[in-house]
Homo-oligomer: A and B are copies of this chain.
Amino acid sequence: MRLSRYFLPVLKETPADAQIASHRLMLRAGMIRQQAAGIYSWLPLGYRVLRRIEQIVHEEQQRAGHIPLLMPTLQPADLWQESGRYNAYGPEMLRIRDRHDRDILYGPTNEEMITDIFRSHVSSYKDLPLTLYHIQWKFRDEVRPRFGVMRGREFLMKDGYNFDLTREDALHAYNRHLVSYLRTYERMGLQAIPMRAESGPIGGDDTHEFLVLADTGESGVFYDSEITDLRFGDRDIDYDSVEQCQGVLEEFTSRYARTDDTHDEAVFQEQVPEARRREARGIEVGQIFYFGTKYSEPMGATVATQGGERVPVHMGSHGIGVSRLVGALIEANHDENGIIWPEGVTPFHCGIVNLKQGDAAADGACEDLYKALRAKGLDPLYDDREERAGAKFATMDLIGLPWRITVGPRGLKNGVVELTCRRTGESEEMTPEAAVARVAEIYAGI
């Protein structure tokens, strides 16, 4: 993309009402615009990051064998009356009356609707196991929306639902989700730690939240410091293997790690040597639940077993906060100059800064770089505006592309451009061809 033809409305001033770094930086970098309390437009740069995250979530869900579909944003109230949650849910649910005075609502989650889909179409144990998921906009009418997209009202979430014949099968689905989530977050460049949590309005006994450590997190967290050394890495997991998934779960959840909802100081002190005890803040970016037959029983989602008996299916639900992740990623990756995107989610793979727009050599070299990078399947952002070098650097630092190639007449006389890493600030001179090769190599495995 050529910046002269893009829409990147960066702000010079720091917005006064934004309290945390991610909210400030998303406004300053022209990623979002607030349209109403807790309701945002995703401007082109923000939309790109959102799509990258969505893409990673889709790929990892499908790698685990989960099947995508798409449920609507609006739901009929009667499904929620069946489950008993219509009255229980409280004022966070946006209740709507349509022109025919029918009660509908903007879905805050989808357990009822997916159970309805399941019961209408599945009736035999032969069709199990089954995990369906979607990535769709949801609405929760937060009483005090704040922190930008971190606690918005309209938000994008991946929510998946497993249907299994037995409790054991459903617990495998639970473990499989835990494994796939670890992999998903790491691909984004995030460490998200699974912690014992409370189930809240979804219900169920088994639940883990995934938390990203950050000073601005809303949850207090208590954990064994050894847990931050764990890496999922590039393991070749067979998602059908009960043993492998169980093994990963045990590896990542056997150490003490709880949110303030479930924290037990006595257990903490007993299990964790003092030197390894940590108390910090965390941002919740996902949660998995096993809740058995909580919805399948009242809603009649049953299957015939091999013996012909009808039994309610065992279910769980599993969420990833897609739009919230954009904020969480920035909280975990920024400095005083702006955002520092991990390569996995960056909106553009690298920036090209032309130090002297209008200079024939510089313009030509930039064009060649732009085309060479695109020919390698990369997406560069070329700052081709007539602007001072300082302003161009400041914009690049603010929007946080991990790599920048700087092109100027002086370097070109020696046949070199400069490749700069946003995170370390280190620069290296090299030929344009070498810069293209290096950037391509960086992204080869991502």
Query: Are A7 and B132 also in contact (CB < 8 A) when A42-B70, A43-B69, A94-B96 are?
Result: yes
Query: Are A35 and B154 also in contact (CB < 8 A) when A113-B41, A122-B9 are?
Result: no
19 sample A-B contacts, Cβ–Cβ < 8 Å, listed by A number: A7-B67, A7-B127, A7-B130, A7-B132, A9-B122, A33-B120, A35-B72, A35-B79, A36-B104, A39-B74, A39-B76, A41-B70, A41-B71, A41-B113, A46-B69, A47-B69, A72-B137, A96-B106, A99-B143
**Interface status of A98 (Cβ within 8 A of chain B):** yes
Contact of B67 with A6 in the complex, beta carbons under 8 Å: yes
Q: What residue of chain B has the Cβ atom nearest to residue A92's Cβ?
A: B99
**Interface status of A40 (Cβ within 8 A of chain B):** yes
CB distance from A382 to the nearest CB of B (A): 15
Contacts of A5 in B (CB 8 A): 65
Contact of A139 with B74 in the complex, beta carbons under 8 Å: yes
Contacts of A153 in B (CB 8 A): 74, 98
Q: Mark A131-154, 1 if CB is under 8 A from B, else 0.
A: 010100101010100000000011
CB distance from A340 to the nearest CB of B (A): 23
Query: Are A47 and B76 also in contact (CB < 8 A) when A96-B94, A121-B9, A130-B7 are?
Result: no
New A-B contacts (19) at CB < 8 Å, excluding given A9-B120, A35-B79, A137-B137: A6-B67, A9-B121, A30-B121, A33-B120, A36-B74, A37-B100, A37-B102, A39-B75, A40-B72, A41-B72, A42-B69, A44-B68, A44-B132, A46-B69, A47-B69, A91-B99, A94-B96, A94-B99, A98-B153
Contact of A41 with B141 in the complex, beta carbons under 8 Å: no
Contacts of A39 in B (CB 8 A): 72, 74-76, 104
For window 12-56 of chain A, which residues contact chain B by CB distance below 8 Å? 30, 33, 35-37, 39-44, 46-47, 50
**Interface status of A116 (Cβ within 8 A of chain B):** yes
**Interface status of A117 (Cβ within 8 A of chain B):** yes
Q: What residue of chain B has the Cβ atom nearest to residue A136's Cβ?
A: B137
Contact of A36 with B69 in the complex, beta carbons under 8 Å: no
Q: Give CA–CA (A33, B75) in the complex, Å.
A: 13
Contacts of A46 in B (CB 8 A): 69
CB distance from A169 to the nearest CB of B (A): 14
